[in-house]
A and B are shown apart, each in its own frame.
Chain A
Amino acid sequence: DIEMTQSPGSLAVSLGGRATINCKSRQSLLYSSSNKYNLAWFQQKPGQPPKLLIYSASTRESGVPDRFSGSGSGTDFTLTISSLQAEDVAVYYCQQYYTTPLTFGGGTKVEIK
């Protein structure tokens, strides 16, 4: 299995501030046939299912605000919320879809400072 490690486990950011979440995979997630990284980011609010934010490490899903951005390569990836809004309070998960079994990070809880 590809282990996914997220950090930090939680962070508190001021409204309008920047939130940075890191995700590390045990092996490269570069899919050679597409030359893209099979890494996704999800947002989960209490009582709701996860919502896809980012795929291919850096492509925003349709309708996702542009304050959300993904970056990274190889085994190290980052989700950045450039200007935190109240509605962004949630737990964020990274997930590799490079191979089965698909695996998720442990989650990062984002709160308002």
Chain B
Amino acid sequence: QLQLQESGPGLVKPSETLSLTCTVSRGSISSSGYCWGWIRQPPGRRLEWIGSICNSGSTYNNPSFKSRVTVSADTSKNQFSLKLTSVTAADTAVYYCARSAASLYAHWGQGTLVTVSS
């Protein structure tokens, strides 16, 4: 069974860069037909899709984040990552990594809480 695990700092200062990594096990991020994405859930708010990277190398980002988001992959480590720059308190959320096929996210990590505070 595919497993995804998020890792990274739980506390980030305002204006700094949030960096998270998702380690994939029992599956390869190079597998054809899949994309690997990030979704977040601010406290008490709805889920928000951030962006994704596909096995082809193509990336897709939510325009609401403007140019703050970078999703990248390291196939040698079977990991993919999220960088979100210039964070504010509004970026405080549980961040999930997940795998999609045809944009349908059927496999999710457990999520990691990131708090933006000085």
Q: Does A83 contact B (CB under 8 A)?
A: no
CB contacts (< 8 Å) of A38 on chain B: these are: 103-104
Given contacts A61-B106, A104-B47, 9 further A-B contacts (CB under 8 A): A1-B64, A40-B104, A40-B105, A49-B108, A50-B108, A55-B106, A95-B47, A97-B103, A104-B49
Nearest CB of B to A59, in Å: 10
**Given the complex of chains A and B, what is the CA–CA distance between A97 and B64 in angstroms?**
17
CB contacts (< 8 Å) of B48 on chain A: these are: 104
Please give me the residue from chain A that is nearest to B4 by CB atom: A49
B46, B48, B64, B110 interface centre (most CB from chain A within 10 Å)? B46
| Category for how many chain B residues contact A | 20 to 34
Instruction: Tell me if A100 and B103 are in contact (CB < 8 A).
Output: yes
**Given the complex of chains A and B, what is the CA–CA distance between A55 and B102 in angstroms?**
11
Instruction: Tell me if B109 and A49 are in contact (CB < 8 A).
Output: yes
Q: Does B36 contact A (CB under 8 A)?
A: no
CB contacts (< 8 Å) of A102 on chain B: these are: 49, 103
